[in-house]
Structure 1
Amino acid sequence: MEDLTCFTKTMERLDDDIDAMRVRANAWANGDIAEIARLDYAERDEACGNALWNSPLAETTPALQNVRERARAGWLKAAEKSLANNTSTFALLRMKDIAGPNSYLADLRAKGYTVESPK
């Protein structure tokens, strides 16, 4: 795999992650969604995801193709079904999938759902 970029981004994250962990923990404890959204590691996640999903193995294995898109579409379909069939529902997502303009919750908003952030 072409994973040097992933490795580099991971090492960079480890170098400064102790302070960032403290900031994330305080933001989480205080419900500071803006701060949580600001602490994004999408660059590292993207590099590592690309190393896997663009590898020769993924490119030649149909089950590994378009995994991100299929996972997102599957989650949204399941969420909509759950919201339609239940008075309350629960979902567990990574913070990067909750906060920000490209989040799963943004997809629900775009479909007309009301999404309330913690106070």
Structure 2
Amino acid sequence: MNTLKHSTLTLLATLGLQAEAASVWKVSNATNSLYLGGTIHVLSASDYPLPVAYDQAYTASDQVVFETDIMALSQPSFQQKLQYTMTYSDDTKIHHVLDKPTYLNLFQYLQSRGIQSETIEHFKPSGLSLLLSMQELQRLGMNSIGVDAFYAEKAQQDNKIQAWLETPDEQIRILSSLNQIDPNDLINYTLEDIGGMAESLQALKQSWRDGHLEKLAKLELIELQQDYPAIYHTLITERNRGWLTQIEHLISTPETEFIMVGALHLAGPDSLLLSLRNKGYRIEQL
């Protein structure tokens, strides 16, 4: 991994090339600024090296801020809490909470992937959604660390200060709150998303690399907002509102931060960038 981290800017300068646009923006007021970058949480090895704008923002910043404490996610205590949140602790099974058409769709998908239905029966809807999505990403070769984990490791090596917008426990609460949504909506959305993943994944990654937020919104957000508004509100709108207050506080400090969140939080009508622009902050894409 170290070979991916060094000399990118030097190489570009030596060859006389220009850096491509990327999903990184500088957010400023009259006196202070910070950087806001969109991430993909899981990548493939071929997605490295990352666009040079990420290293530019990282180098210019005093601290890095992630959605949550990346290092804590691998701790046994967190994994135990996650397992409890993802699975039923009683005799409830997933087929008990889904209607027949949704369960049939699920069963057919499991058959297409050679997954025994008995192995997923003890998962709650949100846990099953996460499990199936991650398995499909791995099947498509997305088995390398994402942008946030990459920079969390780099910050640890460089002794750079790390902070986060949500605690791991808050992330578990969000996962748990998805179980309050109609389970049929959640599973149907997951199956639809997985069904188009192989076709849309490359376009999604290219739009992220290029910083084309309108394309990102068209690919991932518009249908989600229209067809599954409760999921959209829980995963996007509600979290963006909470993060916006924290970001404004960070802009008011003299230190420079590089904040990295999922790229979809920067796209669409409820995006962090649009909210910050509407509040009068200057937004510049690197």
TM-score tier (shorter): 0.5 to 0.7
Corresponding position: 1:13 with 2:13:
no
Q: Decide which moves more: 109-118 or 66-75.
A: 66-75
Q: Give how far 1:93 is off.
A: 1.7
Identity of aligned residues (%): 22
Corresponding position: 1:81 with 2:261:
no
User: Between Structure 1 and Structure 2, which shows a larger proportion of helix residues?
Assistant: 1
Structure 2 letter corresponding to 1:13? D
Structure exhibiting the larger radius of gyration computed from Cα positions: 2
Corresponding position: 1:50 with 2:230:
yes
Q: What does the per-residue CA deviation read over 1:50-81, in whole Å, with 9 as the maximum and x for residues that have no partner?
A: 37x8xxxxxxxxxxxx9977643431221111
Corresponding position: 1:23 with 2:23:
no
Equivalent residues in 2 for 1:98-117, closer than 5 Å: 98-117=266-285
Structure 2 letter corresponding to 1:22? Q
Q: 1:68–1:32: structure 2 CA closer, same or farther, 3 Å change rule?
A: closer
Relative to the length of structure 1, the TM-score reads 0.66
Q: Give how far 1:86 is off.
A: 2.7
Equivalent residues in 2 for 1:89-104, closer than 5 Å: 89-104=257-272
Which one scores higher on RCO, CA 8 angstroms, separation ≥ 6? 2
Structure 2 letter corresponding to 1:97? H
Task: Find the partner of 1:39 among 208, 219, 224.
Answer: 219
5+ residue gaps, structure 1: 54-65
Q: Residue 37 of structure 1 contacts residue 99 of structure 1 at CA under 8 Å; is this kept in 2? A: yes
Task: Find the partner of 2:240 among 72, 75, 86.
Answer: 72
Q: Residue 6 of structure 1 contacts residue 44 of structure 1 at CA under 8 Å; is this kept in 2? A: no
Structure 2 letter corresponding to 1:9? Y
The root-mean-square deviation of aligned C-alpha atoms, in Å, is 3.1
User: Number of residues paired by the alignment?
Assistant: 105
Structure 1 letter corresponding to 2:186? C
State the alpha-carbon separation in 1 of the partners of residues 207 and 238 from structure 2: 31
State the alpha-carbon separation in 1 of the partners of residues 275 and 186 from structure 2: 27
User: Between Structure 1 and Structure 2, which shows a larger proportion of strand residues?
Assistant: 2
Q: 1:20–1:44: structure 2 CA closer, same or farther, 3 Å change rule?
A: same
5+ residue gaps, structure 2: 1-180
Q: Give how far 1:11 is off.
A: 0.8
Q: 1:45–1:11: structure 2 CA closer, same or farther, 3 Å change rule?
A: farther
Relative to the length of structure 2, the TM-score reads 0.31
Q: 1:42–1:6: structure 2 CA closer, same or farther, 3 Å change rule?
A: farther
Q: Give how far 1:100 is off.
A: 2.4
State the alpha-carbon separation in 1 of the partners of residues 238 and 191 from structure 2: 29
Q: 1:5–1:74: structure 2 CA closer, same or farther, 3 Å change rule?
A: closer
Q: Secondary structure at 2:256's aligned position in 1?
A: coil
Q: Decide which moves more: 32-41 or 12-21.
A: 32-41
Q: Give how far 1:36 is off.
A: 2.4
Partner residue, 2:100: none
